[in-house]
Amino acid sequence: MDLDAYVAEHAGEWRRLEELSKRRKLAADEVDELVALYQRAATHLSVVRSRSPDPALVARLSRLVLGGRNAVAGGSGFSWRTVGRFFTRTFPLAAYRAWPWWAGVSLSFTAASLGLMWYIASHPDVALLFLSQEEIDDLVNHDFVGYYSEYQPQNFSFNVWTHNAFVTGLCLVAGVLIVPVLWVLYQNLMNIGLVGGVMISAGRSGTFFGLIMPHGLLELTCVFFAAGVGLRLGWSWISPGRHRTRSRALGESVREGVTVALGLGCVLGVSGLLEGFLTPSPLPGLVKVALGALVWLAFLGYIIVFGRRAAELGHNADLDEALSEAAVPMA
């Protein structure tokens, strides 16, 4: 096929298709013309791919066909209504439906970390199995406190936000394998338990809890949510339940997991602001803890109130029925 001749023959049609695709309003005859040009351009793309697959021309025609299809079928576009529905129904419902999982993770982690703190505080020699005496002295005297004021608040907030978002995302993504989630929880448990035990043993319990609680309540809760939803995701293919195949159960859980990940990303932004600006602030410790606890309770209340209401109204945190895969009843 003579590619140059083919391009010269149809270039006018392609330019006209591009022009019509960019218009916001079309007359009736222009709509008919747009549909016809879109169909012809799709045929041209198929011909070029099969006979003379020039990369530049294929890319151009692919862009034209995609633009024509969007103009013919219409795009979803941005909608504040969709955003509002996500935050008032979809995200809280997805998180609320997984409450037995994240509540179990929360209680288990809290009990284990407090137990580890008590044990290390009661047996200071245990800390030497993980840290040298010099490292313990540095941690107690300046490293723990200095960590929260080492960088500018806005930079520190962004850093902890991205790090915590990565951890929560890892819990959700690795949930299908279950074990990686438990490993992430174990690492966080050892870190908090060891540092807390060392600080308590040195008589710095007030400093430890006064610095970690203003942001830690919300931050750790997000990790618990992610771990719980991740474990629920992993369990969905082990025990899909009646009337669901394993693939369908896993697909539904993954979609809800993505919803929770997006919502937690926003919540972790708030946690990052607390850690960057509230935790190192000169406010009294009790005031900082009270403010952090207030934000934490507001988040839990939001999930429970909005999630329960969405569940009672029969809403679904999964994709709309028109976008979901077809399904048949299973015995």
Write the DSSP assignment of 269-318 as a string of letters. Answer: HHHHHIIIIITTSSS-HHHHHHHHHHHHHHHHHHHHHHHHHHHHTT--SS
Give 245's DSSP letter: -
The tokens of 65 are what? Answer: 């066909």
Assess contact for 311 and 97: CB atoms under 8 A: yes
Give 54's DSSP letter: -
Instruction: Give 75's pLDDT tier (boundaries 50, 70, 90).
Output: low
Assess contact for 64 and 18: CB atoms under 8 A: yes
322: exposed, middle or buried (Cβ count in 10 Å: 0-12, 13-18, 19+)? exposed
> In whole numbers, what is the pLDDT of the chain averaged over residues?
86
Average pLDDT estimate for 205-221: 92
pLDDT at 277: 92
pLDDT at 323: 43
Average pLDDT estimate for 228-248: 81
Average pLDDT estimate for 132-160: 89
Give 124's DSSP letter: G
CB atoms within 10 A of CB 146: 11
Higher-pLDDT residue of 226, 317: 226
pLDDT tens for 14-59 read 888 888 888 878 888 888 888 888 888 889 888 888 877 778 888 8
Assess contact for 295 and 313: CB atoms under 8 A: no
Assess contact for 64 and 41: CB atoms under 8 A: yes
Q: Could you tell me where the DSSP H helices lie in 123-245?
A: 133-138, 144-146, 153-173, 179-201, 205-238
**pLDDT at 77 exceeding the cut of 90:** no
CB atoms within 10 A of CB 312: 8
Instruction: Give 119's pLDDT tier (boundaries 50, 70, 90).
Output: very high
User: Rounded to the nearest 10 degrees, how much is the dihedral formed by the CA atoms of 164, 170, 172, 173?
Assistant: 150
pLDDT at 174: 82
Instruction: Give 331's pLDDT tier (boundaries 50, 70, 90).
Output: very low
Assess contact for 148 and 280: CB atoms under 8 A: yes
pLDDT at 14: 86
Average pLDDT estimate for 284-307: 94
User: Rounded to the nearest 10 degrees, how much is the dihedral formed by the CA atoms of 191, 187, 106, 297?
Assistant: 50
pLDDT at 227: 92
Assess contact for 174 and 180: CB atoms under 8 A: yes
The tokens of 196 are what? Answer: 């807390």
Average pLDDT estimate for 78-84: 74
pLDDT at 5: 82
pLDDT at 16: 87
Determine the 3-state secondary structure of 25 from DSSP. Answer: coil
pLDDT at 164: 87
**pLDDT at 245 exceeding the cut of 50:** yes
Assess contact for 121 and 252: CB atoms under 8 A: no
Rounded Cα–Cα distance for residues 82 and 20 (Å): 28
**pLDDT at 297 exceeding the cut of 90:** yes
User: Rounded to the nearest 10 degrees, how much is the dihedral formed by the CA atoms of 126, 129, 133, 137?
Assistant: -70
Percent of the chain with pLDDT over 70: 93
